[in-house]
Amino acid sequence: MRRPGKPGSVHETGPVAAEKPAAEQNTDASAETTSRASMPAWLPRAMVLAFALLGVFELANWAAHQLIGIAVMMTVAFFVSLAMEPAVDGLAARGMNRGLAVALVFIIVFACSAGFVATLGVLLVETVANVVGELPRLIQEGVDWVNHTFHQKFTLDQLRDRLFKDSDVISSYAERMANNAWGLSSTVLGGLAKFVTIALFSIYMTADGPKLRRALCSVLPPTKQGAVLHAWDLAIDKTGGYLYSRALLAVISTLAHWAFLALLGLPNALALGIWFGVVASFVPTIGTYLAGILPILVALTINPLDAVWIIIFVVVYQWIQDYVLQPRITAKTVDVNPAVALLSVMVGGALLGAVGALLAIPATATLQAFLGEYVQRYEVAEDPRIERGGRTRKQRKKSR
Length of the chain in terms of residues written: 400
14 pLDDT higher than 50: no
Nearest to 345 by CA among 362, 369, 322: 362
Nearest to 273 by CA among 320, 242, 317: 317
**Distance, CA of 379 to CA of 377 (rounded, Å):** 7
The reported pLDDT for the residue numbered 15 is 47
Single pTM value for the model: 0.65
**Distance, CA of 166 to CA of 162 (rounded, Å):** 9
The pLDDT tens digits for 331-349 are 666 667 777 777 887 887 7
353 pLDDT higher than 80: no
Other Cβ atoms less than 10 A from the Cβ of 264: the count is 18
Geometric angle at alpha carbon 394, from 390 and 397, rounded to 5°? 95
**Distance, CA of 239 to CA of 246 (rounded, Å):** 11
The pLDDT tens digits for 269-322 are 888 888 888 888 887 667 778 888 888 888 887 888 888 999 999 889 888 887
Domain ranges of the chain: 98-155+184-374
**Distance, CA of 109 to CA of 206 (rounded, Å):** 14
**Distance, CA of 45 to CA of 28 (rounded, Å):** 29
The pLDDT tens digits for 174-231 are 556 555 655 556 666 777 888 888 889 989 888 888 888 888 888 888 888 888 888 8
Nearest to 130 by CA among 276, 272, 338: 272
- Would you put residue 382 in left (φ > 0), alpha (ψ -120 to 50) or beta? beta
Q: Cα-atom radius of gyration of the chain, to the nearest Å?
A: 38
Amino acid 183 reads G
Amino acid 365 reads A
**Distance, CA of 203 to CA of 304 (rounded, Å):** 47
The pLDDT tens digits for 387-396 are 665 454 555 5
Other Cβ atoms less than 10 A from the Cβ of 369: the count is 17
